[in-house]
Amino acid sequence: MNQTLQNDLLIKAALSQKTERPPVWMMRQAGRFMPEYWEIKNKYSFLEMCKTPEIAADVTMLPVDLLGIDAAILFSDILVTAEAMGGDLSFEQGVGPRFSNPIRSKADAENLAVDCLDKLQYVADAIRVIQQRLDGSIPLIGFAGAPFTILSYLVEGGSSKDFKRTKLLLNNEPQLAHYILQKIADVTIQYLNMQIDAGVNAVQLFDSWAIALSWNDYRDFSHYYNKYILANIKRSVPVISFCKGSSVFARMMAEANPDVISVDWNADLKNIKQALPAGIAVQGNLDPFVLYADKRVITEKIHQLFERMRDQNGFIFNLGHGIMPDIPFDNVKHAIEVVKEFRY
């Protein structure tokens, strides 16, 4: 499939091959910072958008058509696996994701389904529609949430500032935490393999909230399951491993054998790259808040990053985390143009 891509910069960089410039895409590139997203969002709920393949494809294509990025990412959410397992998920305006039936007991954990891929078929359908629309122009990235991050939403019942209940579970009932994490990991393997079979060109594992964990807890409750997932999915496409906390955890993340590590904005990207085994590419790591600044500043900060990465193969330009909803669209477009004009 990759041979037929007209623009395979992302795949090449992910495999640490030479490219004439870094490929660019941005986490949350299809979202609320785009007026065209709101035109669709005003008509449907977020979950309706995810679950209707034609609509998911329309939204996936927005940044392809309006921003000219080098890779599309499937329009969906990491929490759809938790919903398929039995979580009663809703997204409320201004509140974010909510589970009305959070996991608070062993019985709740036992009720989580593992054999639930049929509930996620709409994602495979969306991938097929998107690939028809992309028609080999650029790669499509599929994704899933990592077990620890998904666990945190299931246990907290939604977003959390301090992950108090999740950490209480890890500390007081580690066995129960492992039981749930194993179930999520098994669903995630099936789910990513389904996406790969449906035709995605790369996958990204999102462990957004690993940053909340200590070194030992990251190793036991997060890294262990991510490694298990990466060892058990089809490795026919490049795998990108993202976490907030990768500035600290990158070398441990490398032991899970991803093709790419996506780095938050705290680290110097070159230092991280040089500390990793050869053949592991890096993705990142502009502070998304830079995109609020004047265009001159945006250009400068991107060029600073490029100066550090100039002699490195295996570099994908991205943000250290997702685009915020109130970032000016023009600034995002400008940043992408700056990357596309650069040559090594």
How far is it, in rounded angstroms, from Cα 10 to Cα 281?
11
Beta carbon nearer to ligand CP3, 150 or 282 = 150
Using CB under 6 A, which of the segments 27-35, 82-90, 110-118, 124-132 binds ligand CP3?
A: 27-35
- Does residue 77 belong to the site contacting ligand CP3 (CB under 6 A)? yes
Q: Which H or E run includes 109? A: helix 106-110
Q: Is 284 part of any known ligand binding site?
A: no
Q: Is 208 part of any known ligand binding site?
A: yes
- Does residue 47 belong to the site contacting ligand CP3 (CB under 6 A)? no
Please tell me the count of residues contacting ligand CP3 according to CB under 6 A.
Answer: 23
In the complex, least distance from residue 114 CB atom to ligand CP3, rounded to whole angstroms? 21
Q: Is 108 part of any known ligand binding site?
A: no
- Does residue 27 belong to the site contacting ligand CP3 (CB under 6 A)? yes
Q: Is 320 part of any known ligand binding site?
A: no
Binder of ligand CP3 out of 30, 230, 240, 290 (CB under 6 A): 30
- Residues 180-219, interacting with ligand CP3 (CB under 6 A): 206, 208
> Tokens representing 50?
């995810």
- Does residue 316 belong to the site contacting ligand CP3 (CB under 6 A)? no
> Tokens representing 130?
């998107």
Q: Which H or E run includes 177? A: helix 174-198
How far is it, in rounded angstroms, from Cα 321 to Cα 96?
17
Amino acid, res. 176: L
DSSP state of 342: -
- Residues 227-286, interacting with ligand CP3 (CB under 6 A): none
The structure tokens 């785009």 sit at 34
- Does residue 159 belong to the site contacting ligand CP3 (CB under 6 A)? yes
Using CB under 6 A, which of the segments 21-29, 112-120, 176-184, 328-336 binds ligand CP3?
A: 21-29
Instruction: Return the closest-CA partner of residue 73 out of 27, 24, 21.
Output: 27
Q: Would you give the end-to-end CA distance of the chain in angstroms?
A: 27
Pairing between strand 202-207 and 140-145?
Answer: parallel
CA distances, 84 to each of 47, 80, 188, 268, 287 (Å): 12, 6, 11, 38, 33
Using CB under 6 A, which of the segments 68-76, 99-107, 117-125, 211-219 binds ligand CP3?
A: 68-76
Binder of ligand CP3 out of 73, 213, 290, 302 (CB under 6 A): 73
Q: How far is CA 143 from the centre of its chain?
A: 6
Q: Which residues fall in the annotated binding site for substrate?
A: 28-32, 77, 153, 208, 321
Q: Which residues of the chain form contacts with ligand CP3 (CB under 6 A)?
A: 27-32, 41, 46, 73, 75-79, 91, 96-97, 143, 159, 206, 208, 321-322
